[in-house]
Amino acid sequence: MKHLYPALLTAALALAGACAHAERADRDKPLTIDADALRHDDQKQITLFTGRVTANKGTIAMRGARLEVRQDVQGNQFGILTADPGQRAYFRQKREGMDEFIEGEAEQIEYDSAADTVRLLRKAELRRFQGATIADEVFGSVIVYNGTTEIFTVDGQAGGGGRVRAILAPRQAASAPARAASGAAPAARATASQPAPALRPSSSLGGERK
Domains of the chain: 2-202 (2.60.450.10)
pLDDT band, very low/low/confident/very high, at 106 (cuts 50, 70, 90): very high
Q: What are phi and psi of 108, to 5 degrees?
A: -140, 140
Mean pLDDT of 6-32: 51
User: What's the pLDDT score for residue 38?
Assistant: 94
C-alpha to C-alpha distance for 89 and 68, rounded to whole angstroms: 13
User: What's the pLDDT score for residue 116?
Assistant: 85
Mean pLDDT of 95-119: 88
For residue 133, what are the CA distances in angstroms to 28, 35, 79? 29, 30, 29
146 pLDDT higher than 90:
no
| Cβ contact 81:106 at 8 Å | no
Q: What are phi and psi of 6, to 5 degrees?
A: -60, 160
Task: Give the three-class secondary structure for 187.
Answer: helix
**55 vs 151, which has greater pLDDT?**
55
C-alpha to C-alpha distance for 199 and 197, rounded to whole angstroms: 7
Q: Which amino acid is at 152?
A: F
Task: Give the three-class secondary structure for 63.
Answer: strand
Q: What is the mean pLDDT of the chain?
A: 73
Q: Which of 59-63, 131-135, 200-204 has the lowest mean pLDDT?
A: 200-204
User: What's the pLDDT score for residue 22?
Assistant: 53
Q: Residue 131: beta bridge partners?
A: none
- Ranges assigned E (strand) in the chain: 2-4, 11-15, 32-34, 37-41, 46-57, 60-71, 77-82, 89-94, 100-106, 108-112, 117-130, 133-146, 151-155, 165-168, 199-202, 204-205, 208-209
User: What's the pLDDT score for residue 99?
Assistant: 81
Q: Residue 71: beta bridge partners?
A: 77
